[in-house]
Amino acid sequence: MNNFPKVEYVTYTTDEIPKLGKVKFRTFTVGEHKQFLEAVAMGQAEPVLDTLCDIIGKCTFGKINVSKTEMYLLDRLYLDIYIKSKGANSPVTYRCSNHVTGEDGNEKVCGNTMNVNIPLTSAYLDIPEDYAETAIVKISETAGIKLRQPCLDDFKRIKDDGGKVEITEKFLYSSIECIYDGERLMYPGQDFDLPGLMAYIETLPDTVMPQIEAFFDSTPQLKIELPITCTKCGHKETIKLAGLDDFFA
């Protein structure tokens, strides 16, 4: 057994995060960062989410129930840890899509590529006014579907397939807390399964899906707005980034 010096971690505190409050954290260790890069290199979502979950848990000293926390809050937390660990900039390549007049007089796309640093500290949590953690979509006077914002565990189930997180069948399934009919409560995985649910959804009035979509559309997102001026054609635009996938693309 080696007798290396005991590691003392510097701790930081986040600003107030909705539901989580001010969270104490430390930066990634060398091993954790390596573990994360290896997961990313595998090119699959599940190991990345697993690693993310593991690292956030360790960096916040086990004080947060990571797998039961909503994704947008974990994005916020991960970004704070990342900034202290790796710096406040994320380099990305920007390609200008402005239409300009070419030498031959024809319109063409500028196509200039530039290296841009995304200032990660400018990220803010955009919480829509109509955001709700849960919603009830009524099926009849006495019956309805109770929805809740999916947490990391739910996302992992969906991403198993390598599927994109849209309102896919699985996404909907994992966001249902229960279906009720008067006093009777039915829970996913217990009282009905995915194929059963989908067959049932088919029979519902056409007005139900838009209500479900509206619920998910109001999910908070971590956003960055970055004004850019093209170095070739002078075109100005503000690129809008939403979520970690965009920040580290």
Give the residues lining the site for Zn ion (CB under 5 A). 96, 98, 110, 112, 230, 232-233, 235
Question: Cα–Cα distance between 52 and 60 in angstroms, integer?
Answer: 12
Which of residues 65 and 231 has its CB atom nearest to Zn ion in the complex?
231
Question: Cα–Cα distance between 91 and 112 in angstroms, integer?
Answer: 16
Is residue 247 a contact partner of residue 161, using CB atoms and an 8 Å limit? no
Is residue 23 a contact partner of residue 60, using CB atoms and an 8 Å limit? yes
Which of residues 33 and 235 has its CB atom nearest to Zn ion in the complex?
235
Give the SS3 label for residue 49. helix
Which of residues 182 and 227 has its CB atom nearest to Zn ion in the complex?
227
Closest CB 52 distance from Zn ion, rounded Å: 35
Closest CB 94 distance from Zn ion, rounded Å: 10
Q: What is the DSSP string of 75-134?
A: HHHHHHHHHHHH-SEEEEEEE---EEE-TTS-EEE---EEEEEEEGGG-EEE--TT--SE
Question: Cα–Cα distance between 189 and 12 in angstroms, integer?
Answer: 40
Is residue 130 a contact partner of residue 150, using CB atoms and an 8 Å limit? no
Which of residues 223 and 235 has its CB atom nearest to Zn ion in the complex?
235
Closest CB 234 distance from Zn ion, rounded Å: 7
Closest CB 93 distance from Zn ion, rounded Å: 14
Beta strands 107-109; 99-101: pairing state:
antiparallel
Closest CB 106 distance from Zn ion, rounded Å: 16
Q: What pairs with residue 94 in β-bridges?
A: 114
Closest CB 115 distance from Zn ion, rounded Å: 14
Which of residues 94 and 200 has its CB atom nearest to Zn ion in the complex?
94
Which of residues 96 and 158 has its CB atom nearest to Zn ion in the complex?
96
Which of residues 35 and 112 has its CB atom nearest to Zn ion in the complex?
112
| Three-state secondary structure string covering 225-248 | EEEEECCCCCCEEEEEEECHHHHC
Residue 108, CA atoms < 13 Å, CB-side half-sphere? 10
Closest CB 102 distance from Zn ion, rounded Å: 12
